[in-house]
């Protein structure tokens, strides 16, 4: 079975700082990778996803993530965060070809201060 580790549980940044949230997964085969975001009081929504091809994927609101197969990692990045990026971020993995049974990490709470 697959597993996902998010190393940062709570991150506090000032506006305009750069962001990198770590995500590592454990699975022996090909995977699909996702980052979801949950803004305060809102439902979980997709930020970006990787299925195949270019390992650098771009998502909404200026976020990007890089799949490094050799490191089993899918870290989320943003060059300059905004106060509105305050949210909880979840990394998720699913074995390729399965009926979208996702395994989620424990989440990283990002707090952006003015």
Partner 1 sequence: DVKVTQSSRYLVKRTGEKVFLECVQDMDHENMFWYRQDPGLGLRLIYFSYDVKMKEKGDIPEGYSVSREKKERFSLILESASTNQTSMYLCASSEMTGPDTQYFGPGTRLTVL
Interface with partner 1 (CB under 8 A)? 6, 9, 32, 34, 36, 42-46, 49, 51, 90, 92, 96, 99-107
Nearest distance from C-beta of residue 80 to partner 1, angstroms: 26
Nearer to partner 1, 36 or 81 (CB): 36
Rounded to whole angstroms, the Cα distance separating 103 from 92 reads: 5
Per DSSP, which regions of the chain are E strands? 3-5, 10-14, 19-21, 24-26, 31-38, 45-50, 56-58, 64-68, 73-78, 87-95, 103-104, 108-113
The C-alpha atoms of residue 14 and residue 36 are separated, in whole angstroms, by 22
Distance of CA 36 to the CA centre of its chain: 6
The least distance separating partner 1 from the CB of residue 52, rounded to whole angstroms, comes to 8
**Measured from the CB atom, is 52 or 70 closer to partner 1?**
52
Least Å distance between CB 101 and partner 1?
7
C-beta separation of 14 from 113 below 8 A: yes
17 or 32, CB closer to partner 1?
A: 32
Q: Least distance to partner 1 from the beta carbon of 112, Å?
A: 20
Residue closer to partner 1, measured from CB, 35 or 112: 35
């Amino acid at each position: 079975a697959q597993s996902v580790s998010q190393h940062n549980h709570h991150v506090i940044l000032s506006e305009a700082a750069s962001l990198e949230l770590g995500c590592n997964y454990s699975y022996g085969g090909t995977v699909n990778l996702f980052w979801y975001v949950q803004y305060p009081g809102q439902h979980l929504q997709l930020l970006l996803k990787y299925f195949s091809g270019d390992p650098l994927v771009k998502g909404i609101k200026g976020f990007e993530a890089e799949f490094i197969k050799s490191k089993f990692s899918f870290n989320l990045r943003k060059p300059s965060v905004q106060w509105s990026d305050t949210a909880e971020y979840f990394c998720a993995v699913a074995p390729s070809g399965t009926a979208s049974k996702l395994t989620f990490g424990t989440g990283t709470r990002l707090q952006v201060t003015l």
